[in-house]
A and B are shown apart, each in its own frame.
Chain A
């Protein structure tokens, strides 16, 4: 067994996977155009909890989720985030502010997901 050699399949595989990853990233970035109306969609376990337009928000709004754990979502003009959560690792809070279409914060513990949707139709089809 030669442990220093790559076989043909190895190289093709790695180049192929790298190409797919690059194409996927490029497609994601190109299909999201900045500007326009943005809306935050909050779902829990796939069900819609609340939908907030972030462009015409006069005062900061907070949404509380009490089941199965206590979480606070804070919406300001043009941005939204998880501000408090009782989940163990707090990845949702550490995600920080979401402000452009395609941004997402996910809490796997409570199954709450915040998604930003733009008025661009392509983004909507990509997201749902």
Chain B
């Protein structure tokens, strides 16, 4: 992938991640447990991990968290979404690069969801200074497996389709790379 094409792909993925996050807030998910959400923006993170390098992945997650926090949840939620988002992106990237023989994208997505929840519990503990947040652990573990599987399935299908159609591959002329 040439530089200008990669920049375009990064921007497209950032905008998609923001839109998916905002859409998820608008559509209520019928889960009776507070704090549990699908985390559909994770799909974009995984696609970025499959096709781009770590720096681009982190830029996408960072900008998505900031824009979504400013537009919806407020800046108080920022430490939660940033720590969870960045840490889970890094862990998923590592597992994808080093342990793909052991985990499919579904498994990597579950690992990402687990890391995300663990980071949020850690931040909640730092802010509240209370071990009370640990009581929430079983709920968050189970929900991470469920939501991670759902987003993992979608990501795997999307990534396979992108590869099959060669959307991100370097075919055709790139205006920026002509000279």
Contact = CB atoms under 8 A, between A and B. Distances in A.
Interface stretch (A16-24, A56-64, A69-77, A78-86): A16-24
Contacts of A7: 101-104, 107
Given A25-B138, A115-B132, A127-B131, A10 B34 contact: no
Contact of A24 (B106, B111, B131, B137): B137
Contacts of A106: 128, 130, 132
Interface string A81-99: 0000000000100000000
Given A3-B160, A9-B99, A14-B145, A104 B132 contact: yes
Category for how many chain B residues contact A: 20 to 34
A113 B130 contact: yes
Interface of A: 1, 3, 5-10, 13-14, 17-18, 20-22, 24-25, 28, 43, 45-46, 91, 102, 104, 106, 108, 111, 113, 115, 127-128
Interface of B: 34, 99, 101-107, 110-111, 114, 124, 127-132, 135, 137-138, 141-142, 144-145, 149, 153, 156-157, 159-160, 163
